[in-house]
């Protein structure tokens, strides 16, 4: 069995330093890779991202560095990167609730 992909300390610090909008921009492509199961999550994240407006931070370099790692992360691990943050609009709790709903539906 493959070991779950995880961010190392350096990557965690870099991800934690991102604004909420930049974090969503970084993670959305990886949620889309789980599209079959994650449509509700994707819509929720896209709406939240659109509400936040434009982002000044260029995440392209960090995105390239983390591409391989993020693409191997499970849906639950990606959700964890969002739910560990305190979004003003309650996004963290809504994303976690949607993951729980997906787990219940699958089980």
- Residue-wise pLDDT for 21-76, tens only, equals 999 999 999 988 887 778 888 888 999 888 887 766 788 889 999 999 999 999 88
pLDDT at 77: 92
Q: pLDDT category, 2, cuts 50, 70, 90?
A: low
3-state SS of the chain is CCCCCCCCHHHHHHHHCCCHHHHHHHHHHHHHCCHHHHHHHHHHHHHHHHHHCCCCCCCHHHHHHHHHHHHHCCHHHHHHHHHCCCCCCCHHHHHHHHHHHHHHHHC
Can you give the pLDDT at residue 69? 92
């Amino acid at each position: 069995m493959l070991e779950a992909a995880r961010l190392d300390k350096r990557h965690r610090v870099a991800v934690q330093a991102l604004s909420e909008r930049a974090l969503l921009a970084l993670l959305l492509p990886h949620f889309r890779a789980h599209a079959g199961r994650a449509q509700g999550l994707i819509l929720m994240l896209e709406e939240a991202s659109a509400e936040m407006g434009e982002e000044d931070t260029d995440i392209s370099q960090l995105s390239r560095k983390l591409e391989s790692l993020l693409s191997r992360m499970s849906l639950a691990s990606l959700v964890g990167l969002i739910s560990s943050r305190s979004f003003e609009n309650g996004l963290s709790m809504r994303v976690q609730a949607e993951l729980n709903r997906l787990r219940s539906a699958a089980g």
